[in-house]
Amino acid sequence: MIELHLILFFMIAAAIIAVEVKDLVSSVVAVGAVGIGLCMAFLVLKAPDLAIMQLVVEILSLIILIRATIRRDLPFSISGRWVFNTLATVSFIVVFLTLAYFALRSLPAFGNAAMKVSRFYIEDIMKTGSENVVSAIIVNFRAYDTLGEIAILFTAIVGVLAIARRVGYTKEKIDEPN
Amino acid sequence: MICIYMLCLALFLVGLYCVVRKRNLIKIIIGIGIMEYAVNLFFILGGYIRRGRSPIFAADQVIKNMVDPLSQAVVSTAIVIGLAFTLLLVAIAIRIYEKSGTFDITKINRLKG
Amino acid sequence: MSLTKEDRGMTLIVKTITRITFGFILLYGIYIALHGNIAPGGGFVGGVIIALSFIHIMLAFGKKRALKRMRSHRLRLMISIAALIFLYIVISGWHGSYSHIVIAICEMVIVGAGLFAIFAALVLMPKSDMASGVKK
- Note whether residue A79 is domain-resident: no
Q: Phi, psi (5° rounding) for residue B17?
A: -60, -40
Whether the predicted pLDDT of A108 surpasses 90: no
Whether the predicted pLDDT of B1 surpasses 70: no
Which range, A112-116, B72-76, C54-58, is most confident? B72-76
Mean pLDDT of chain B: 84
B90 near C CB under 8 A: yes
What domain range includes position A140?
118-178
**Domain extents in chain C:** 5-125
Q: What is the ipTM of this complex?
A: 0.89
Whether the predicted pLDDT of C136 surpasses 50: no
Q: What is the mean pLDDT of residues C10-19?
A: 87
pLDDT of residue B35: 93
A158 near C CB under 8 A: no
- Paired with B66 in beta bridges are B53
Give me the amino acid identity at C6: E
Q: Are A65 and B90 in contact (CB under 8 A)?
A: yes
Whether the predicted pLDDT of B75 surpasses 90: yes
Neighbours of C122 (CB within 10 A): 20
Looking at residue A108, the DSSP 8-state letter turns out to be P
- Note whether residue A151 is domain-resident: yes
Distance from CA of C35 to the nearest CA of B (A): 13
Q: Are C100 and C37 in contact (CB under 8 A)?
A: yes
- Note whether residue A33 is domain-resident: yes
B75 near A CB under 8 A: yes
pLDDT of residue B81: 92
Which range, A8-22, A164-178, C33-47, is most confident? A8-22
Which range, A36-40, C13-17, C130-134, is most confident? A36-40
Q: What is the mean pLDDT of residues A40-67?
A: 90
Q: Are B68 and A115 in contact (CB under 8 A)?
A: yes
Q: Are A32 and A66 in contact (CB under 8 A)?
A: no
Cβ-based contacts of C125 with chain B (< 8 Å): 91, 94-95
Whether the predicted pLDDT of C133 surpasses 50: no
Contact flag B76-C133 (C-beta cutoff 8 Å)? no
Which residues have CB under 8 Å from A96's CB, separation 6+?
A: B9, B13
A148 near C CB under 8 A: no
Whether the predicted pLDDT of A53 surpasses 80: yes
Count structural domains, chain A: 2
| More confident site: A112 or B31 | B31
B107 → chain A, closest CA residue: A77
> CA C64 to CA B71: how far, in whole Å?
43
Cβ-based contacts of A152 with chain B (< 8 Å): 80-81, 84
Whether the predicted pLDDT of A141 surpasses 60: yes
- Note whether residue A93 is domain-resident: no
A100 near C CB under 8 A: no
Neighbours of B88 (CB within 10 A): 17
Contact flag C136-B56 (C-beta cutoff 8 Å)? no
Distance from CA of A73 to the nearest CA of C (A): 12
| Coil, helix or strand at residue C62 | coil
- Note whether residue A86 is domain-resident: no
Whether the predicted pLDDT of A100 surpasses 90: no
Alpha helices, H only, C94-135? 99-124, 130-135
Rounded to 10 deg, the angle between the C99-124 and C12-34 helix axes is: 150
State the pTM of this model: 0.86
Whether the predicted pLDDT of B2 surpasses 80: no
CA C55 to centroid of chain Cα atoms: 7
| Coil, helix or strand at residue A132 | strand
> CA A108 to CA B66: how far, in whole Å?
17
- Name residues 2-31 of chain B within 8 A of C (Cβ): none
